[in-house]
Amino acid sequence: MQNTPLFYTFNFYLFGIIAIVSAIVFVTRKSPVAAALWLVNTMFSLAAMYVMLDAPFIGVIQVLVYAGAIMVVFLFVIMLLNLGHPSEIADIRNQRWRLIAGFVGLAMLAEIFVLTRANSVPDLTLARDAAANSVIESGAVGTVATSLFTTYLLPFEITSVLLLAAIVGAVMIGKQRSANAR
């Protein structure tokens, strides 16, 4: 575990820069579909940053809920309202872009292999702080679950009411009125 801080720090910066670049590309895209997919990229980078900040459970939830569920609902609505331009959805980039993508993938793979095996200079390694120690002690889920089900039990239960209200509200607002109801 000695060499993890270098790995963590480097990847934190890397994914932070990726997140900001994808966010800038996201606000400048014309097509809503392209914008949504760039936002998914930002969310994935943020999930990686959460893991680097010793919050692996939040990172997993970020991928599952934000990148997996919320953005799929966004894309679903964009497609439902027929806002995406078909030419921009279906295109496959040319040879040059495929080579660049493959190169980026290989570079990131190599970076992970090198950094997990590297022995960093002892002066560069940071002291493991409270969050990292609690992750080591009680596991990624245990860190969150312990306080979620003791100190924050009431807010947790109220959340279920909120979700129920959101489900009912979304169905009621989005429901197509039938012809005889008018």
Partner 1 sequence: MLAEALFFSAVLFTIGVIGVLTRRNAIIIFMCVELMLNAVNLTFVAFSRAYGPSGQIFVFFSMTVAAAEAAVGLAIIISLFRHKQTVNLQHINILKG
Contacts with partner 1, residue ranges (CB under 8 A): 8-9, 12-13, 16, 19-20, 23-24, 26-27, 32, 35-36, 39, 42-43, 46, 49-50, 52-55, 57-58, 61-62, 65-66, 69-70, 73-74, 77-78, 80-81, 83, 129-132, 134, 143-144, 146-148, 152, 155, 159, 162-163, 165-167, 169-171, 173-174, 176
- When the beta carbons of 103 and 149 are compared against partner 1, the nearer one is 149
**Hey, what long-range contacts does 16-23 have (CB within 8 A, 24 or more apart)?**
16/45, 16/49, 18/45, 19/45, 19/46, 19/49
Task: Provide, rounded to whole angstroms, the least separation between the CB of residue 44 and partner 1.
Answer: 11
- When the beta carbons of 96 and 182 are compared against partner 1, the nearer one is 182
Report d(CA 7, CA 54) in Å as an integer: 12
Angle at the Cα of 151 (from 147 to 153), degrees rounded to 5?
95
- When the beta carbons of 136 and 165 are compared against partner 1, the nearer one is 165
Task: Provide, rounded to whole angstroms, the least separation between the CB of residue 181 and partner 1.
Answer: 14
- When the beta carbons of 116 and 138 are compared against partner 1, the nearer one is 138
Q: What is the CA radius of gyration of the chain?
A: 21
Task: Provide, rounded to whole angstroms, the least separation between the CB of residue 103 and partner 1.
Answer: 25
